[in-house]
Amino acid sequence: MSDIIKTESMGIIPSFTVQMDVSDVLYLSWLIPEKKLRPAVPASINFAGILEDNAMISLVMFRSKNVTSSVFPFVHFSYNQANIRTYVIDPVTGMPAVFFLESGITSPLISFVTGLLGVPWRSIDMKLDVRYKDEHPYQYQVYGDWKGNFKIEFKGDNAPLNPAPFQNIEETIKFLTGPAVGFYGGPGKLIRFEVKHSAIKPYAGKLSTIQCPMLAGSGFVEEKDMIVPHSALIAAYGHFTVFMPPTILSI
């Protein structure tokens, strides 16, 4: 670890874990010039270098079920979540990570609690309607209010996936779903947390409708380009363990 990187614990909060099952996970990703994202990502965080002068941005939506913590193991709850993220290198380990640009959650209570931990999950309205065929999600609709009314329709038809600029489809999937470190925050002070998750096995498909004011208003992806993502993937299931509290990274 570099001498200029300092990690701090969050006061007297003891260590604990959060377990959850995630389902109906939608990954819509776009390849954009890195310079578009740089103002939103601290200069001390490097983008994933495999993309050269480009960066990948993803809109990810999913259900979180059976959410429980090691502090209150008998309390279980569920919510839906959405985030916009990009792919970076963790300056602590040198491993792949994600930097969250925006996040929303359908539980006002969890939004409040995570805010106390420095994780800015905006309270939003979001509903999912997902239909399965042969254990694969094939018809996906998500809608609600996230800085304006949004609606996304997707068909998981196992459409061919163009892996470029990656070497193959497996590398694409690993890049998008593999990172186990996440960041929130701005220059000089970053919130860093670690997760452990099962292998995500996504199924490719085709985006038919997207209206998303949060993404359109970000300026990262042109509205006219939103309908043609680099990749559109859906995964039926995953299990996550989140290690809390996060640490504060000063670089």
Where the chain has pLDDT below 70, the residues are 1-12
Question: How high is the pLDDT of residue 143?
Answer: 98
pLDDT at 156: 84
Domain boundary assignment for the chain: 6-250
- Amino acid 6: pLDDT: 58
Query: For residue 9, what pLDDT is reported?
Result: 60
What predicted TM-score, i.e. pTM, was given to this entire model? Answer: 0.93
DSSP string, the chain: --TT-EEE--TTPPPEEEEEEEEEEEEEEEEEEHHHHGGGS-TTSPBPGGGTTEEEEEEEEEEEEEEEESSSTT--EEEEEEEEEEEEE-TTTSSEEEEEEEEEES-HHHHHHHHHTT---EE-EEEEEEEEETTEEEEEEEEEESSSEEEEEEE--------TTSSSHHHHHHHHH---EEEEEETTEEEEEEEEEPPP-EEE-EEEEEE-HHHHHHSSS-GGGTTS-SEEEEEEEEEEEEEEEEEEEE-
The CATH architecture to which 6-250 belongs is: Beta Barrel (2.40)
How much is the pLDDT for 144? Answer: 98
Q: What is the pLDDT of residue 3?
A: 45
pLDDT of the residue at 11: 59
pLDDT digits (tens, 9 = 90+) for 35-69: 999 999 998 899 997 778 899 999 999 999 999 99
pLDDT at position 1: 41
